[in-house]
Structure 1
């Protein structure tokens, strides 16, 4: 079992569903991404570089694309979305208010473009 699978196994069911959904969307966008680590966090890795990490924190779920530019690229798609906050390189949300699929796909594509550049 890889590091993401191990991490998911330790989450409660509602958090697991929210986190796993984002990884599933990322895998659809980048099927060749592999489980690994980025900055010590469980992450999908593409072309040897961290692509995306999704982790439960005390008060939110954090999405880490390892790139402030990738977060900025999707900021407009998240405007007005309840309980979403953006910070340098991080998107935070509540599991009961999942991120829009379109925004997640755009985030992953933005990060892939950076990795491939």
Structure 2
């Protein structure tokens, strides 16, 4: 077990990524808490999602930026080497051909920093909205 020296929480993995202290209340606060070199890509993903999902509410859910309208549509989050993009397993399956250059798991797409594909994120977000897909 590893214990965070800042907040005292214990984790299975050494240097586990987590929030110490008070969690952010808004997506902007969330992004501003991240390392400076990650913020531009995170703000870009936020801008893409706000434009693609104008009727969705932006909120923090599961400690990450979430787009919501009657249910969670999708989430994203900062990781050390990538942005975790969480549109749900059906979306990952639907876009599997376009996602061949990405590391994916059930419901998760890992987007390396510096490789944000604006059009792909727009298409996935719109597909999630149009189909009612839940993250």
TM-score with structure 2 length normalisation? 0.70
Partner-residue secondary structure (3-state), 2:76: strand
The Cα of 1:56 is off from its aligned counterpart by 1.2
Partner-residue secondary structure (3-state), 2:95: helix
Q: CA offsets per residue over residues 38-64 of structure 1, 9 Å max, x none?
A: 34433121x221122211123322001
**Number of aligned positions between the proteins:** 110
2-structure distance, mates of 1:59, 1:29: 25
Q: CA offsets per residue over residues 55-100 of structure 1, 9 Å max, x none?
A: 11233220012x2001222222232x3xx211100000211222x2
TM-score with structure 1 length normalisation? 0.80
RMSD, aligned CA: 2.0
Report if aligned partners of 1:73, 1:110 keep a CA contact under 8 Å in 2. no
Which of 52, 58, 79 is residue 57 of structure 1 equivalent to? 79
Name the counterpart of 2:130: 113
1-structure distance, mates of 2:78, 2:63: 14
Higher Cα Rg, which structure:
2
Which of 99, 105, 110 is residue 87 of structure 1 equivalent to? 105
Of Structure 1 and Structure 2, the greater helix share is in: 1
Report if aligned partners of 1:37, 1:50 keep a CA contact under 8 Å in 2. no
2-structure distance, mates of 1:50, 1:8: 19
